[in-house]
A and B are shown apart, each in its own frame.
Chain A
Amino acid sequence: MLINMSSQVLTIARFTIIESLRNRFLLLSFLVIAISFSLVEFIGDLAITEHRVTQVAILAAFLRMSAVVIITLFVVSSTVRELQDKTLEMILAMPIRRGSYYLGKLIGYFYIAALVAVIFAVLLLLYADPEQVVIWTISLFFELVLVVALSLVMLFTFNQVPSALTGVFIIYGASRIVTSIFLMSKFPIIAHTSAAQKFMDGIIEMLTWLLPDLHRYTQTEWLTYNTGEWGALLPLLGQTMIYLVFLSFIALFDFYRKNF
């Protein structure tokens, strides 16, 4: 039973990977690499000091955001196509659990996320310390794992590409800046005690509890000032695992309730 299930999961994962390779997905990643390289070389010509730091900082931020956008677009568009082409219905008509399908897709997307992270890291190797690049890449992979799971949740919830993409980008953006917003509300320049303000402060604090600490992930500082340490990856792994489980059960909750 268990062997049969894992074989189903791996088959779905394999076909997800094959789809990505046939979808010119790698070509898109290499295109981003080419654009990034041109951009960073141009920036290098502009900088009059801190040449390497400037190049690395802008390149890392650009690659990080590009990876998130590419993965989100791929996960959402590929899953939507399966929904619209009735491929999903055909798969579920077979003796396959919905959980197995979800897990298979997740594993397939994780493989693609790892591929993107590694491809992007190769370019960074030209400008930054290799050890720091490896730490940054692992962290980027963790971040992309959460983006994949979040994309699936949003898609199962909204069923439509625009709403799903908007949902992913809002939650992702909020996860990266919620700490800054929290600090601003916690330590305001002018103290305020109105009920409305306290309510908003409470909402913001609640968001810090509910959203993942993405501001700790994939830090540009690691690459620019070589401050990354292997130990920093451990809490990131913990956060990734916990939030992945959380997002997965939200997705499965929606998925099991869905009628086709």
Chain B
Amino acid sequence: MFNYYHYIYKDRPVRDVPKGIKIALVAALFLQLLWHSLQEPLIAKAEDLAPPLSTRTYVMSSLGEPIAVSKFLNLWLQAFDNQPGASISFHQLNYTRLTQWLDTILELDPRGYYPMLVAARVYGSINDAEKKQIMMDYIFYKFSENPDKYWRWLAHVVIMAKHELKDLDLALKYANALSEKATGENVPYWAKDMKIIVLEDMGELEAAKILVGALIASKEITDPYELNFLTHKIAVLEEKSLKKQQSVEK
């Protein structure tokens, strides 16, 4: 029967293709699917984390897109944690190498803070004191480079040291660094006062009181909200101190 197919379409109809070609095409597709199903599932292996290349290499390989490559590396590095059994992968990760990666990413995009967040909240949350310490040291090191920028991550580390590592001396060391080095206007009063919180837990209420008094006396703090907070803090400290004294007298 004559049909008008070739007037409407540029290509010939499917039935014009030899049957052997059609069968081979479907068979080849199934072969590919079968091949894929026989392969081992793709799982990122934490121990395979290679050392990072120089930042220049990443800049050049991305044709001069350091920010884009930095964001991409963030996600790529994060992929090591998204695999099944993340807690196991954290333990397998080479934390020293991990900090090199975080440093490289920060160097590529100095305005970013993604690596600091994952260092503090993701990799730092590992239930391994030694590895936790590596992350805390890294954050402290970055804080020392630019205290006004990285103060909030160190503030978190103070809490980590105090509550997770139960190392009050270390928490005090970080808190001291916070109050002494993070002096920028962007740093809120509570971050500068973390030392008080740590000292309070250590039972050194008097020392904390002296510190607050010193902060106010030196006119380091001019913000009224901050002054109110500190005044309130001193009042609370005094109350605690009084209660302590009363319990001793009883």
Contacts and interface: CB of A to CB of B under 8 A. Distances in A.
Interface string B14-30: 00000000000000000
A57 B67 CA distance: 6
B74 A65 contact: no
A123 B59 CA distance: 25
Interface residues of B, number: 25
B1 interface: no
Nearest to A179: B64
A61 B114 contact: no
A49 B68 contact: no
B27 to A, nearest CB: 30
Contact of A48 (B59, B63, B117): B117
A221 B63 contact: no
A85 interface: no
Given A47-B74, A49-B114, A50-B113, A224 B64 contact: no
Contacts, number: 69
Contact of B75 (A47, A179, A183): A47
From B68, B74, B112, B118, residue with most partner A Cβ within 10 Å: B68
B67 A221 contact: yes
A180 B59 contact: yes
A83 interface: no
Interface in A180-232: 180-181, 183-184, 214-215, 220-221, 224-225
A238 interface: no
Q: DSSP majority for the B interface?
A: helix
Contact of A180 (B60, B75, B114): B60
A54 B69 CA distance: 10
Question: Among the interface residues A50, A183, A215, which one has the most CB atoms of the partner chain B within 10 A?
Answer: A50
Contact of A173 (B63, B69, B109, B117): B63
A65 B63 contact: yes
B111 interface: yes
Interface string A45-63: 0111110011001101110
Most A Cβ at <10 Å: residue of B75, B113, B117: B75
Interface string B185-219: 00000000000000000000000000000000000
Contacts of B114: 47-50, 54
B68 A57 contact: yes
B68 A58 contact: yes
Contacts of A61: 62, 65, 68-69
Interface in B33-65: 56, 59-60, 62-65
A215 B82 CA distance: 34
A53 B63 contact: no
Interface in B92-146: 109, 111-114, 117-118, 122
Interface in A39-93: 43, 46-50, 53-54, 57-58, 60-62, 64-65
Given A61-B68, A173-B63, A180-B59, 18 more contacts: A47-B71, A48-B78, A49-B114, A50-B74, A50-B114, A57-B67, A57-B71, A58-B71, A65-B63, A176-B63, A177-B63, A179-B64, A180-B60, A181-B60, A215-B64, A220-B67, A220-B68, A221-B67
10 contacts: A43-B75, A48-B117, A49-B113, A49-B117, A50-B71, A50-B114, A57-B68, A180-B56, A181-B60, A220-B68
